[in-house]
Structure 1
Amino acid sequence: MNLMSVDLYQSATDPEKFLALPAGADPAELMGPMTFDQDYAQVVRYREGFEFDPSESYAGVNAAKIAADILTVKWAIYRREA
Protein backbone atom coordinates (compact mmCIF):
# COMPACT_ATOMS: atom_id res chain seq x y z
CA MET A 1 0.00 0.00 0.00
CA ASN A 2 1.18 3.55 -0.68
CA LEU A 3 2.16 6.11 1.92
CA MET A 4 -0.68 8.26 3.23
CA SER A 5 -0.18 11.83 4.42
CA VAL A 6 -2.22 12.22 7.60
CA ASP A 7 -2.67 14.70 10.40
CA LEU A 8 -2.78 13.16 13.86
CA TYR A 9 -4.75 14.62 16.75
CA GLN A 10 -4.68 13.64 20.40
CA SER A 11 -7.68 13.66 22.69
CA ALA A 12 -7.55 16.54 25.17
CA THR A 13 -9.22 14.36 27.82
CA ASP A 14 -7.44 11.03 27.26
CA PRO A 15 -3.83 11.26 26.01
CA GLU A 16 -3.86 7.62 24.83
CA LYS A 17 -6.61 8.27 22.26
CA PHE A 18 -5.84 9.59 18.79
CA LEU A 19 -7.67 10.70 15.67
CA ALA A 20 -6.11 10.33 12.21
CA LEU A 21 -7.38 12.40 9.27
CA PRO A 22 -6.21 12.97 5.71
CA ALA A 23 -3.70 15.83 5.77
CA GLY A 24 -5.45 19.21 5.72
CA ALA A 25 -8.83 17.95 6.94
CA ASP A 26 -10.45 19.96 9.73
CA PRO A 27 -11.45 17.88 12.78
CA ALA A 28 -14.01 20.53 13.76
CA GLU A 29 -16.07 19.54 10.70
CA LEU A 30 -16.46 15.93 11.89
CA MET A 31 -19.27 14.53 14.00
CA GLY A 32 -18.49 10.81 13.61
CA PRO A 33 -15.65 10.37 16.11
CA MET A 34 -17.58 12.11 18.90
CA THR A 35 -20.59 9.90 18.21
CA PHE A 36 -18.50 6.88 19.20
CA ASP A 37 -16.53 8.44 22.04
CA GLN A 38 -16.85 11.85 23.73
CA ASP A 39 -13.09 11.91 24.34
CA TYR A 40 -12.77 12.99 20.69
CA ALA A 41 -14.93 16.11 21.19
CA GLN A 42 -11.77 18.10 22.01
CA VAL A 43 -8.55 17.25 20.21
CA VAL A 44 -5.19 18.93 19.85
CA ARG A 45 -2.83 18.55 16.90
CA TYR A 46 -0.22 15.91 17.59
CA ARG A 47 1.55 15.62 14.18
CA GLU A 48 0.90 17.35 10.89
CA GLY A 49 1.58 15.78 7.51
CA PHE A 50 2.77 12.47 8.94
CA GLU A 51 3.77 10.07 6.15
CA PHE A 52 1.89 6.99 7.29
CA ASP A 53 2.73 3.58 5.83
CA PRO A 54 -0.17 1.15 6.40
CA SER A 55 2.13 -1.84 5.93
CA GLU A 56 4.50 -0.74 8.73
CA SER A 57 4.25 -1.69 12.37
CA TYR A 58 3.54 1.18 14.74
CA ALA A 59 3.62 0.72 18.51
CA GLY A 60 0.33 -0.67 19.69
CA VAL A 61 -1.85 0.27 16.70
CA ASN A 62 -3.38 -1.60 13.78
CA ALA A 63 -1.98 0.41 10.87
CA ALA A 64 -3.98 -1.48 8.22
CA LYS A 65 -7.28 -0.74 10.02
CA ILE A 66 -6.40 2.94 10.41
CA ALA A 67 -5.66 3.17 6.69
CA ALA A 68 -8.87 1.34 5.78
CA ASP A 69 -10.94 3.65 8.01
CA ILE A 70 -9.37 6.77 6.51
CA LEU A 71 -10.04 5.51 2.99
CA THR A 72 -13.67 4.58 3.71
CA VAL A 73 -15.01 7.09 6.27
CA LYS A 74 -12.23 9.74 6.02
CA TRP A 75 -11.15 9.42 9.66
CA ALA A 76 -9.83 6.84 12.11
CA ILE A 77 -9.90 6.72 15.88
CA TYR A 78 -7.51 4.57 17.83
CA ARG A 79 -5.93 4.03 21.21
CA ARG A 80 -2.18 3.77 21.57
CA GLU A 81 -1.36 0.65 23.57
CA ALA A 82 1.91 0.26 25.41
Structure 2
Amino acid sequence: MNLMSVDLYQSATDSEKFLALPAGTDPAELMGPMTFDQDYAQVKRYQEAFQFDPSEAYAGVNAAKIAADILTVKWATYRRESPP
Protein backbone atom coordinates (compact mmCIF):
# COMPACT_ATOMS: atom_id res chain seq x y z
CA MET A 1 0.00 0.00 0.00
CA ASN A 2 1.16 3.55 -0.68
CA LEU A 3 2.09 6.15 1.90
CA MET A 4 -0.82 8.16 3.27
CA SER A 5 -0.49 11.77 4.38
CA VAL A 6 -2.37 12.04 7.66
CA ASP A 7 -2.81 14.57 10.42
CA LEU A 8 -2.60 13.10 13.90
CA TYR A 9 -4.48 14.50 16.87
CA GLN A 10 -4.21 13.60 20.54
CA SER A 11 -7.16 13.54 22.91
CA ALA A 12 -7.10 16.46 25.34
CA THR A 13 -8.58 14.25 28.06
CA ASP A 14 -6.66 10.98 27.53
CA SER A 15 -3.07 11.31 26.29
CA GLU A 16 -2.99 7.69 25.09
CA LYS A 17 -5.84 8.19 22.58
CA PHE A 18 -5.24 9.48 19.07
CA LEU A 19 -7.23 10.41 15.98
CA ALA A 20 -5.83 10.02 12.47
CA LEU A 21 -7.39 11.97 9.59
CA PRO A 22 -6.48 12.56 5.96
CA ALA A 23 -4.16 15.59 5.88
CA GLY A 24 -6.09 18.85 5.81
CA THR A 25 -9.28 17.47 7.36
CA ASP A 26 -10.74 19.64 10.13
CA PRO A 27 -11.57 17.44 13.15
CA ALA A 28 -14.25 19.94 14.24
CA GLU A 29 -16.29 18.93 11.17
CA LEU A 30 -16.46 15.27 12.23
CA MET A 31 -19.10 13.77 14.47
CA GLY A 32 -18.16 10.10 14.22
CA PRO A 33 -15.19 9.83 16.58
CA MET A 34 -16.86 11.65 19.47
CA THR A 35 -20.09 9.73 18.96
CA PHE A 36 -18.22 6.57 19.94
CA ASP A 37 -15.93 8.09 22.58
CA GLN A 38 -16.21 11.51 24.25
CA ASP A 39 -12.43 11.61 24.71
CA TYR A 40 -12.28 12.67 21.03
CA ALA A 41 -14.55 15.69 21.54
CA GLN A 42 -11.48 17.81 22.33
CA VAL A 43 -8.28 17.06 20.44
CA LYS A 44 -5.00 18.86 19.92
CA ARG A 45 -2.75 18.55 16.90
CA TYR A 46 -0.04 15.99 17.49
CA GLN A 47 1.60 15.80 14.06
CA GLU A 48 0.72 17.40 10.72
CA ALA A 49 1.04 15.70 7.30
CA PHE A 50 2.64 12.57 8.75
CA GLN A 51 3.67 10.16 5.99
CA PHE A 52 1.94 7.05 7.28
CA ASP A 53 2.95 3.68 5.85
CA PRO A 54 0.21 1.09 6.51
CA SER A 55 2.67 -1.77 5.95
CA GLU A 56 5.11 -0.51 8.59
CA ALA A 57 5.13 -1.61 12.22
CA TYR A 58 4.37 1.23 14.62
CA ALA A 59 4.75 0.52 18.32
CA GLY A 60 1.46 -0.38 19.93
CA VAL A 61 -0.88 0.28 16.98
CA ASN A 62 -2.49 -1.72 14.18
CA ALA A 63 -1.32 0.25 11.12
CA ALA A 64 -3.37 -1.79 8.65
CA LYS A 65 -6.60 -1.15 10.58
CA ILE A 66 -5.86 2.58 10.85
CA ALA A 67 -5.32 2.75 7.07
CA ALA A 68 -8.50 0.75 6.37
CA ASP A 69 -10.56 3.03 8.64
CA ILE A 70 -9.20 6.18 7.00
CA LEU A 71 -9.98 4.81 3.54
CA THR A 72 -13.51 3.72 4.45
CA VAL A 73 -14.85 6.23 7.01
CA LYS A 74 -12.23 9.02 6.61
CA TRP A 75 -10.99 8.83 10.22
CA ALA A 76 -9.39 6.37 12.60
CA THR A 77 -9.15 6.32 16.36
CA TYR A 78 -6.52 4.36 18.18
CA ARG A 79 -4.91 3.97 21.54
CA ARG A 80 -1.16 3.88 21.89
CA GLU A 81 -0.44 0.80 23.93
CA SER A 82 2.65 0.61 26.08
CA PRO A 83 4.68 -2.58 25.94
CA PRO A 84 4.11 -4.90 28.93
TM-score by length of 1: 1.00
In 2: Cα distance, 1:7 partner to 1:23 partner: 5
In 2: Cα distance, 1:38 partner to 1:27 partner: 13
Describe the superposition over 1:60-81 as per-residue Cα deviations: whole angstroms up to 9, x where unpaired: 0000000000000000000000
The residue number in structure 2 matching 1:50 is 50
The residue number in structure 2 matching 1:60 is 60
Task: Output the amino acid matched with 1:3.
Answer: L
Describe the superposition over 1:16-46 as per-residue Cα deviations: whole angstroms up to 9, x where unpaired: 0000000000000000000100000000000
Stretches (4+) displaced over 2 A: none
State, as a whole percentage, how many aligned pairs show the same letter. Answer: 89
The residue number in structure 2 matching 1:15 is 15
How big is the alpha-carbon RMSD for the aligned residues of Structure 1 and Structure 2? Answer: 0.2
Task: Output the amino acid matched with 2:6.
Answer: V
Task: Output the amino acid matched with 2:28.
Answer: A
Task: Give structure 2 stretches of 5+ with no counterpart.
Answer: none
In 2: Cα distance, 1:55 partner to 1:79 partner: 18
In 1: Cα distance, 2:71 partner to 2:9 partner: 17
The total of aligned residue pairs comes to 82
DSSP 3-state at the match of 2:77: strand
In 2: Cα distance, 1:59 partner to 1:32 partner: 25
